[in-house]
């Protein structure tokens, strides 16, 4: 239920701009000085750079064994990672490297189809499903240097194959396999997070409206080469509005940066075959977490490259659209009153869909008055 039927301005594909060999990027993409990345001094060249993050790598193989000690150790590692940076990588996560590669290949092919074919899937702000080039509907807004494709995998009531790409051939089968594995991983992580907090293992899942009703959607980000990467961003700072995000990054081109505890931007260097996990705003609310405490949703952004395009697949696992999202009753006490007022995910996500990415300002609006 979006009141916006269409984009406020004609859509320009960033890929078309990039391929037209401009020397200078249009003003629409030039960020104010304070928001520009500082590519020269720190983050850009990731190898041997002190600002490149050693974000924790967790071997998830441990949770799938019968070795109880190893299982407990893995749970602890996840707990620690959630308490520290809030972003971590997982390996041995159950998804085969072949499937990950196939999924990336499909999307590389998709974004290199002729523009007329891609535009047959052009999206609108009504549901955002399909091929898009902006987040937010504010007229005259400064835009990000990226195109994307967005689709729903679950719940079944929202899954609509006509909104999925039709080419490359057989892409839907691969996407099915990929999303199915993603959901399995998310369900496992939801269980681990609950247990790590001493809650019933299905507690978080139930707060999301149960397994069948939880949302699962895929956003494929395509960041074309940019002639002036120092002036713009591929994706502006934001925290993910939903529950959990599992990112399949581009192993060849760095770009994702997370906001460290000292506010510096840290460039993530992904490990081979790793997936990157982070917590979204809904879990921060449900678990009654402050922005400066554990299990918070971390701010992140993406920088772009003058020499290489970059592709990433972000899978979002979200609460059912219309269940009330609020701090769990058992976490709210007289001494620790509810930090956030109740919302629904359908309501909450309207913010990013109309305003575009805006740091963590939305979750701060939900803070209970003191
Ligand atoms: C996102 C996101 C990061 C990336 O899609 O929400 O943060 O590396 N993507 O593309
Ligand atoms: Ni994100």
310 Cβ below 6 A of ligand 1: no
256 Cβ below 6 A of ligand 1: yes
Residue 370 C-alpha to ligand 1 middle, in angstroms?
Answer: 33
Contact predicate 221/234, CB 8 Å? yes
Ligand 1 atom having least distance to the Cα of 223: 10
Other CB atoms within a 10 A radius of the CB of residue 335 amount to: 5
309 Cβ below 6 A of ligand 1: no
Diameter over CA atoms, the chain = 61
Of all protein residues, the one whose alpha carbon is nearest to atom 3 of ligand 1 is 256
Of all protein residues, the one whose alpha carbon is nearest to atom 5 of ligand 1 is 314
* Residue 1: per-residue pLDDT: 46
240 Cβ below 6 A of ligand 1: yes
Measure the CA–CA gap between 96 and 311, rounded to whole angstroms.
19
Ligand 1 atom having least distance to the Cα of 268: 8
Say how far residue 248 (Cα) sits from the centre of its chain.
10
pLDDT in tens for each of the 370 residues of the chain?
Answer: 456 789 999 999 999 999 999 999 999 999 999 999 988 654 444 444 555 556 899 999 999 888 999 999 999 999 988 888 788 999 999 999 999 999 999 999 999 999 999 999 999 999 999 999 999 999 999 999 999 999 999 999 999 999 999 999 999 999 999 999 999 999 999 999 999 989 999 999 999 999 999 999 999 999 999 999 999 999 999 999 999 999 999 999 999 999 887 888 989 989 999 999 999 999 888 887 765 555 678 899 999 999 999 999 999 999 999 999 988 988 888 888 888 888 999 999 888 888 888 887 778 888 877 5
255 Cβ below 6 A of ligand 1: yes
32-67 as b/e, with b when 16 or more CB fall inside 10 Å?
Answer: eeeebbebeebbbeeeeeebbbebbebebebbeeee
Of all protein residues, the one whose alpha carbon is nearest to atom 1 of ligand 1 is 314
Give the three-class secondary structure for 121. Answer: coil
Mutational pocket test of ligand 1: of 300, 358, 359, the residue with most ligand atoms within 8 Å of the beta carbon: 300
CA distances (Å), 77 to each of 94, 196, 370, in order?
A: 18, 10, 35
Domains in the chain: ranges and CATH: 14-364 (2.60.120.330)
Measure the CA–CA gap between 166 and 296, rounded to whole angstroms.
37
Q: Which residues have CB less than 5 Å away from ligand 2 (the ion)?
A: 240
300 Cβ below 6 A of ligand 1: yes
Give the three-class secondary structure for 158. Answer: helix
246 Cβ below 6 A of ligand 1: no
Of all protein residues, the one whose alpha carbon is nearest to atom 10 of ligand 1 is 312
* Residue 247: per-residue pLDDT: 98
In the chain, which ranges are continuous DSSP H helix?
14-19, 68-83, 97-111, 115-119, 171-196, 203-207, 281-286, 345-355, 361-365
219 forms beta bridges with 150, 314
144 Cβ below 6 A of ligand 1: no
Question: Is the four-CA dihedral 199, 202, 207, 208 of positive or negative sign?
Answer: positive
pTM for the whole structure: 0.94
281-294 as b/e, with b when 16 or more CB fall inside 10 Å?
Answer: bbbbbbbbbebeeb
* Residue 45: per-residue pLDDT: 44
Other CB atoms within a 10 A radius of the CB of residue 82 amount to: 26
């Amino acid at each position: 239920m979006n009141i916006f039927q269409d984009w406020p301005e004609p859509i320009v594909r960033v890929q078309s701009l990039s391929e037209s060999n401009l020397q200078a990027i249009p003003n629409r993409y030039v960020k104010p000085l304070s928001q520009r990345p500082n590519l020269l001094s720190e983050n850009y060249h990731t190898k041997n750079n002190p600002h490149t993050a050693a974000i924790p790598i967790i071997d998830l193989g441990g949770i799938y064994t019968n070795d109880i000690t190893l299982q407990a150790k893995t749970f602890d590692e996840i707990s620690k990672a959630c308490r520290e940076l809030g972003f971590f990588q997982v390996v041995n996560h159950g998804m085969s490297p072949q499937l990950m590669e196939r999924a990336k290949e499909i999307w590389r092919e998709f974004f290199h189809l002729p523009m007329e074919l891609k535009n047959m899937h052009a999206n609108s702000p009504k549901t955002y499903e399909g091929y898009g080039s902006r987040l937010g509907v504010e007229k005259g807004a400064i835009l990000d240097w990226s195109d994307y494709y967005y689709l729903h995998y679950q719940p079944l009531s929202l899954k609509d194959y006509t909104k999925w790409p039709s080419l490359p051939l057989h892409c839907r089968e691969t996407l099915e396999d990929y999303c199915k594995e993603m959901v399995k991983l998310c369900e496992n992580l939801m269980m681990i997070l609950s247990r790590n907090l001493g809650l019933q293992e299905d507690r978080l899942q139930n707060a999301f409206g149960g397994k069948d009703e939880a949302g699962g959607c895929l956003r494929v980000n395509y960041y074309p080469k940019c002639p002036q990467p120092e002036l713009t961003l591929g994706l502006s700072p934001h925290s993910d509005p939903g529950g959990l995000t599992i990112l399949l990054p581009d192993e060849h081109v760095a770009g994702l940066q997370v906001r460290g505890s000292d506010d510096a931007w840290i460039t993530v260097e992904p490990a081979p075959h790793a997936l990157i996990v982070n917590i979204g705003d809904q879990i921060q609310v449900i678990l009654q977490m402050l922005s400066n405490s554990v299990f918070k949703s971390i701010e992140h952004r993406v920088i772009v490259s003058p020499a290489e395009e970059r592709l990433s697949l972000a899978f979002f696992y979200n609460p059912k659209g219309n269940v009330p999202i609020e701090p769990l009753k058992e976490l709210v006490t007289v001494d620790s009153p509810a930090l956030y007022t109740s919302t629904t995910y359908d309501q909450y996500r309207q913010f990013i869909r109309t305003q575009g990415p805006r740091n963590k300002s939305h979750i701060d609006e939900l803070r209970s008055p003191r």
